[in-house]
Structure 1
Amino acid sequence: MKEVNADVAIIAAGPAGLAAAVAAAENGASVMVFEKSNVTGGCGNMAMGPFGVESRLQKKQIIGLTKEEAFKMHMDFNHWILMPD
């Protein structure tokens, strides 16, 4: 196993992890960010969708997504594990 060194190790590159990494780096720390997914952003990648579900704007754009479908998509994305920051 390869050994790496940093002042700060961030596990998970979601919104909170990325903000912590930037703050640490801006304050002079050497930072390493580890993410298990193939993209960064975590739940932030879906944050805008659920808030407009079944809204007037969504209906105007003829987007047929229900609250139940949006909830299931979000929970499937997170493997039905809630990890609040």
Structure 2
Amino acid sequence: MNRTQWMEDLQKNISELFAKSPAADIERNVRSMVTQAFVRLDLVTREEFDVQADMLARARTKVDQLGEQLRQLQSRLDALESGKTTAE
């Protein structure tokens, strides 16, 4: 038996032993508990998060644009009112 075959056999035997041991049951139980905990946390997927982050960035850009328009309009209104006040 060559060294590679011996290593493969050892790995196979260890995998079989692990699969039959209580450790495999513990691993399955832990995975189940963690999965249930994540479900209860109501987490979002990365894709959902990225979509929401993109929407938020676009909304923020639009809010900034509208804020600038409001400042310009307010400036024009102030200029008209100050001209009206001095003309009266």
TM-score higher than 0.5 here?
Answer: no
What TM-score results when the alignment is normalised by the length of structure 1? 0.23
What TM-score results when the alignment is normalised by the length of structure 2? 0.22
Larger RCO (CA under 8 A, 6+ residues apart): 1
Q: Larger radius of gyration, structure 1 or 2?
A: 2
Q: Counting strand residues as a fraction of each chain, which structure ranks higher? A: 1
